[in-house]
Structure 1
Amino acid sequence: MCKMSEFYDQFLWTCYTDCLSMKLDKFAWKGGKKMKTRLTLSVALIVLIIVIMGFGVTFALFTDSAQSSTSALAAGTLVIDSVTPQGAVFSTDIHYSNLAPGDTGSGTLTVINNGSLDALVSISGFVYDTDTNPASLFGGATPLALSETNGIIPISAGGTADFTINYSFPSDAGNSYQGNFGTATINVHAIQAPNSGTVNSQGWTLGTGYGAGGGFTSGPTGGTSAYFVTGSQPYGWAEIRNPNFTGTQLSSLSALSYMTYVSGSAVSQVAPWMILNIDINDDGEWDDLLYFEPQDQGQSVLLNQWQTWDALNGSWWSVDGVAGMTSVNPKAISEYLNVYPNAKIVNSSAGGGVRVAAGFQSVPWNFVGYADNITVGGSFFDFE
């Protein structure tokens, strides 16, 4: 956390998050057939004031992970300050009639950035209340499910954006769901958009997919960092790549390390990986991938603080399982070099042979975090 003796500027931006309440009336029976019923979706929007303090004219990149519920206001947190709940702003009812097992549909959630900072906003996940009486629509073997497909949406200061919230009720939902209702919380995440004129990627480029985002901007404790937001979609990914190490002998590396800062994740405390594209037969094409995953290094991935990872002396796994180096049995790079002593880092058609990445999972990471101070051999990258 930054220590600041005085504040020069104060910025406020407001993000509206939703309280999502669903109630499904009892199924009506007539002539031995199940009749369709009515689903009422109530969306109560709650305003959260996010106070962002800047020091001088250099602003750190701040984030907020907000939660809303139907019964109480929920306070989110920032890296260096707090979120102040201000109460419900307005409510709206969206009515879906004739809901029955097998039905799908959608509604719209509007997010408003009422402050002076541009933001990148995403739906970071859904939390279902499954402990209700009557039983919850979100429990059981065939529950009602919510989803979204918007990914990350930039919202300029004073602007708005609409997120589509989809629902799906399985066609094989049984009679046990009669009379049930459900309550869900939609988590909305916002991150300050990059400040123009501050980017120095030092030869690294950004790649994203499946609704994820990222970039190079002011970090959570000052200075410039790479940041990643993978979003709530399956397989969402964000990475930075550097193409300037192609042809570098793996055995010649004197250092290989980087730092990470994890603000939040739905997957139990993971941090961005380091990935190397490897050429084992000197033909200039990549033959294998080596993965360094922080959560496999014998220490916990911590939240809201920087951690340094010594990848050169850590444990890696090979996509090809060379030397028994699998994802469940990572080993030292020396084990790989015993099999392929001339292995080299090489570029691929998609970009650089050295990568730092988050995501790529069938289970959404809902990850927000940063990477910085990357060392590859004698080269150091701090994005300043």
Structure 2
Amino acid sequence: MEYVQMTLTDWLEMKKKLEADLTGVTASFIRIGYTLRRIEDERLYERDGYSSVAEFARKEYGLSASTVSRFMAINKRYSIGGYSEKLAPEYAGLGSSKLSEMLALPDSDLSMITPETPRDTIRELKDFNKQEQEGSSDLDVFLLEFFSCCVGDWKSAEPTEKSLKEALNPSGSRVYRKGKYFMAFYDADIKIKRFGAEPTSLSWGNLAEWVQEHTEELIGMIRKEKDAGSTEQGQEEEEEEVAPAQKSGKSAERLNKTPDPEEKEQGQEEEKPKDPETAEKEEIAPAQKVEKPAEILDTKPDLAENMNPPEENEAAEAEEPEKTAETLDKEPVSGEVVDREDELENLIGRLKEHVENRHWNLALFTAEKIVKRLGEKV
């Protein structure tokens, strides 16, 4: 098949046409449902000798009874006024397959569905409505459970509306369900439903305020994840250290083998003891080798850095490699002074931003960090 290069204009026109065709399919569903309802309500099927609209549609058009029922139900629920040939504006953009899936949802749940909602999400919401699950009815508890299960998604985010939206909902549609709650993320807002109750909307701005109010709990989650990561890394290093000792091979055999007298006669001499001075030099030499620099830490500001109290930062500094006496006595070069000034300017700028946004916890932590840096020897 020969492919012709498509321009941007052609591509946009193709997408527009596809959207129109899909919208047309939905509109057709509404019109077909309306026509079938009129035939039933006015008993028009009797003109051709049929006993019901289902019999009429089956013999005339090959439609099953369930298909006829679905067409009529879609028209009744989604047409203007519940009885017309036109789709109600609030359902524009939803395909016929989604509208069909939504028939099993209560009217109150329709507000949770948007054109961006995947069909699987509708099915999951239907399943959620079938049976109440165990769990707390407290919304704060539910939100804390959500943040706890996905620390890796938000730990590098700022406690702001834009940053949280990018971290928690990068694809534009996300669902989280646990216990008595079902939560659907969209670009505009967040829909939350408690089992047996009507859905509510939570704006991204309100979520950012909630994050600031629960700073202490969120910091604890980040610390817990770091501790778990450190434990796992330590176990992996232990396994790597044990592995070489399990290698027997020829080396172990040669160590355990008694030398054959004939091998000595063929020119193999016993290793002579080394001169004490030579041995001492060889032992000192490895210590003079330059060690591989410690892994550079990611300096990107994250939620933990912005909200962590100074005690955690001091603990992190204590984990740095121990400096030698030569390094401690060495005077700082000019570049280090510039870096220190840049860091202070950055912290001061961040402090102003937190004060303007009335993030008092963040402002307090940043101010303490500035005082600490000013007290250090430059």
TM class by smaller structure: under 0.3
Larger Rg: 2
TM-score calculated relative to the size of structure 1 = 0.21
- Larger relative contact order (C-alpha < 8 A, sep ≥ 6)? 1
TM-score calculated relative to the size of structure 2 = 0.21
Greater strand proportion: 1
